[in-house]
Each structure stands twice: as C-alpha cells, then as structure tokens.
A and B are shown apart, each in its own frame.
Chain A
Amino acid sequence: GAVVSQHPSRVICKSGTSVKIECRSLDFQATTMFWYRQFPKQSLMLMATSNEGSKATYEQGVEKDKFLINHASLTLSTLTVTSAHPEDSSFYICSATGTSGRSDTQYFGPGTRLTVL
C-alpha cells in the first residue's frame, strides 16, 4: 500500500516552455500532497503544500506564479513549471499523506528529473 506515482519521470525542454508534472496516489486518498525540489548533493527543499480542493501554501522564496500547483482530487496533484529556465533544472519529487498508515507519514513518488536547455 501507499504507492505514489509521478509522470513524467524525465523531461527535457527548451527555455521558456512550460512543463506539467503529475503526482498520483494509486491506492489511497491523499488529503495532502507536498512538492519538493532537490538539487544535486543537496537536501530536499519543500516548495509547497497542497490540500485537496484548496490553494497551495508556498514556502518562502518559491514563486507561486512560476510553480503552479493544482490539487483537484484526492488522488491527483499537478505542478506546472511555467516559463522554465535552466536554473529550474532539478529533481522534483512529490509526496502524499492521507488515508494510508499514519496520517503524518509521507510517501514519495519516484521523482521527475527536469532538464531545461
């Protein structure tokens, strides 16, 4: 149980384009989903927290107009990187808490490696 999927696993795009990443909880209802970013050899950095049906809460320093988050259902959240630039290249990972196991345990998706040329 507690499986989280992400799509795509890897994406390469040109500077200025937008990229959408999907995060799905496959076997439980995710009341809360989290989006992280991880640069090489650095720790996970929380970008935003989203609760189903409400607006995401962004961490300080994360531009909400650049990183659009939608959590429209209990099993799906999307992160759209708008007008991507090379400095946005990173490993984006979602996680979810919800009806599986302890409500405070986060289960991670496999991540999406974004490369912006």
Chain B
Amino acid sequence: RKEVEQDPGPFNVPEGATVAFNCTYSNSASQSFFWYRQDCRKEPKLLMSVYSSGNEDGRFTAQLNRASQYISLLIRDSKLSDSATYLCASGGYQKVTFGTGTKLQVIP
C-alpha cells in the first residue's frame, strides 16, 4: 500500500462547480498535512496546510480526519485558473511523502 494515495482523476468540472478531493495516508504517526498545487511542468506550490480543526482559505477548505486517516480539499466556485494537479502530502519534520496528485480540469 502506498503511503499517500490519491485518485489521479482527471476531474473535469464546469466553471462554478464545487469539487472535492480525498487523500488517504497510511502512517498514523504523521503530524503534518498539506495540499500543494502543481501546474504542468512547474514546481509544486503550497496551497494550504491542513490543521486538525480544519481550515478555510477563500474558496478552499481542507479537512483532516485522523480516525480514518484521510485529508480532503474542497474547492467552491471553481475557476478556469484552478485547473492543475493537486498533491496531498503527509509526514513529519524531516520527511513528507507526496501523493501522485489529482488532476483537475475546469471547463468553461
């Protein structure tokens, strides 16, 4: 079993739609969780850290479920510019493991 697993997609959604991604992690000792966004042929950029209480940043909401060992990302009112691959990551201070990414394509 992979340490971090994501549905690769692609998720094709119309503009304005709400889309949710889930990501499961296998290491119950993981302390840190993140969502990154990666555009084609570019480096990953931090979208948001994921806190136990859940956190929201504009149209983006991240949740952590420690009991079931998954994190989620909700994107509301999708924009064309949201099209990218979304990587989840979990780990600790010295090592973070990334999922393979979920590809999102927002369609006009």
Q: Chain A residues in contact with chain B, CB under 8 A? A: 32, 42-44, 46, 49, 91, 93, 97, 102-111, 113
Contacts and interface: CB of A to CB of B under 8 A. Distances in A.
B46 A107 contact: yes
Interface of B: 31-32, 34, 36, 41-46, 49, 87, 89, 91-101
A112 to B, nearest CB: 10
Given A32-B94, A43-B101, 13 more contacts: A43-B99, A43-B100, A44-B98, A91-B41, A102-B49, A104-B31, A105-B34, A105-B46, A106-B96, A107-B46, A108-B43, A111-B42, A111-B43
Given A42-B100, A49-B94, A105-B49, A93 B43 contact: yes
B72 to A, nearest CB: 19
Which of A44, A46, A93, A111 has most B Cβ within 10 Å? A44
User: How would you classify the secondary structure of chain B's contact residues: helix, strand, loop or mixed?
Assistant: strand
A103 B96 CA distance: 12
14 contacts: A32-B93, A32-B94, A43-B98, A49-B94, A103-B93, A104-B91, A104-B96, A105-B32, A105-B46, A105-B49, A106-B34, A108-B36, A110-B42, A110-B43
Contacts of B87: 43-44
B43 A109 contact: yes
Contacts of B44: 44, 93, 108
A49 B91 CA distance: 14
Contacts of B45: 108
Nearest to A103: B93
B3 to A, nearest CB: 11
